[in-house]
Structure 1
Amino acid sequence: MKKMVLVITGAAGSGKTTICKYICAKYHLPKVVTHTTRAPRQGEHDGIDYYFESDASFAQKHFLESVHYSGAQYGSSIEGLEAAWQTAPLACIVLDTKGALAYQRALSDQVLTIYLTVDVGKDSAAALRKRMEARGDDPEKIAKRMQSAENKRDQQIPQELMGHATIIKNNDLPTAHRDVDAFMATVIAKLKS
């Protein structure tokens, strides 16, 4: 069976991690564990949510993509992807749009992409900010993140991903789950054929 990776991307607060957890639990997909130099959030565990690295240990990995974002480094390694594929031929990963593009360029037809949007009322930025507050992010870091060039970039799907990504609105979780389930039904059918 062909090895594939499901990339979930979108702006900060769009629900990437929540949707990834849902897919991994419901469809028994392994999550590709990525690396970061940021401190763990409350409830996060090393080797499960991220590999929490020092600057020195981060520099020793073999990355498909990496980015400096909001004062920390993030990246996904070839070793992490291979470890996930040892568990199942389809793995799931959460990436920013730059990372999603790097995966698309490096792995091409092995990549399936979901781009999450939030379109609650007229102010999606306010909705994204509320979500980050609800998950316990530091208010100062939220403000900095919302103003970052990376976050502004991630607010729109990159042109290069158009035609390769499935866009799913995550205004409310039950509707997003239904749309994800429809997407996964086509993926599973494709993998079986």
Structure 2
Amino acid sequence: MGKKIIVITGASGTGKTTISQYLKEKYNIPIVITHTTRLPRVGEVDGVDYHFETDETFKKNHYLEQVEYSGYHYGSSQESLNAMWKNVDVASIVVDTAGAISYEKKYGDLAVIIFLKLDLDTVANRLRDRGDDPDRVQRRINSDEFKRDLVIPVELRNKSYEIVNKTIEKTEEKVDKIVKSIIIK
């Protein structure tokens, strides 16, 4: 088996981080750490949840994709992925749909893309339930990027696995099948 990157994408609140954690816990598939200029949420740790950057340090990395949400920069660097691939054959990463398109274009079959989707009301409730500021939740769900990420992009149709993440048990079953298909190849 060659190198693979499992790219988990979809709108905020659809369960991307939860699925990435599931892959780590069940299959020991590590998470490529991405970069952000936002401040850590309660309990988040630099170098574990994100590489928390300043605007200046953020600019020094070589990004496969980067985006700005709510005035903060987010991105995944080539350096983080290469460091991960030195130690493992399969890693996962959480990115928005524009980032998933970039990974698919750059890595082709090495990128296994999982698109998680949910209805808007459920997503908004999840964002509030995880402790995000209500005003920021409203701004986020009104943003063009958020609306874009609710629907699978044309560029990823027939090149990704689509999962409606209503219940974690059903989603995990579907993810298990995907992982087994990667490992068997």
- TM-score for both structures, normalised by structure 1: 0.94
TM-superposed deviation, 1:43: 1.1
Match of 1:43, SS state, is coil
Q: Is the 8 A contact 1:30 1:87 kept in 2?
A: no
Match of 2:52 in 1: 52
TM-superposed deviation, 1:69: 1.4
Match of 1:6 in 2: 6
Match of 1:177 in 2: 172
Cα displacement string for residues 134-162 of structure 1 (whole angstroms, at most 9, x for unaligned residues): 11111111000000000000010001101
The residue identity in structure 2 corresponding to 1:20 is S
TM-superposed deviation, 1:126: 1.1
Q: Structure 2: how far apart are the matches of 1:185 and 1:33?
A: 24
Match of 2:147 in 1: 152
User: After TM superposition, where is structure 1 displaced by more than 6 Å over at least 4 residues in a row?
Assistant: none
Aligned pairs for 1:78-97 within 5 A: 78-97=78-97
Q: Is the 8 A contact 1:12 1:128 kept in 2?
A: yes
Match of 2:61, SS state, is coil
Aligned pairs for 1:35-184 within 5 A: 35-118=35-118, 124-184=119-179
The residue identity in structure 1 corresponding to 2:24 is C
TM-superposed deviation, 1:87: 2.1
The residue identity in structure 2 corresponding to 1:172 is T
Q: How many residues align?
A: 185
Q: Structure 1: how far apart are the matches of 2:104 and 2:157?
A: 11
The residue identity in structure 1 corresponding to 2:147 is K
Q: Structure 2: how far apart are the matches of 1:77 and 1:98?
A: 15
Q: Structure 1: how far apart are the matches of 2:178 and 2:107?
A: 20
Match of 1:121 in 2: none
Structure 1 gaps of 5+ residues are 119-123
Q: Structure 1: how far apart are the matches of 2:33 and 2:14?
A: 19
TM-superposed deviation, 1:55: 0.1
Structure 2 gaps of 5+ residues are none
Q: Structure 2: how far apart are the matches of 1:79 and 1:110?
A: 17
TM-superposed deviation, 1:86: 1.9
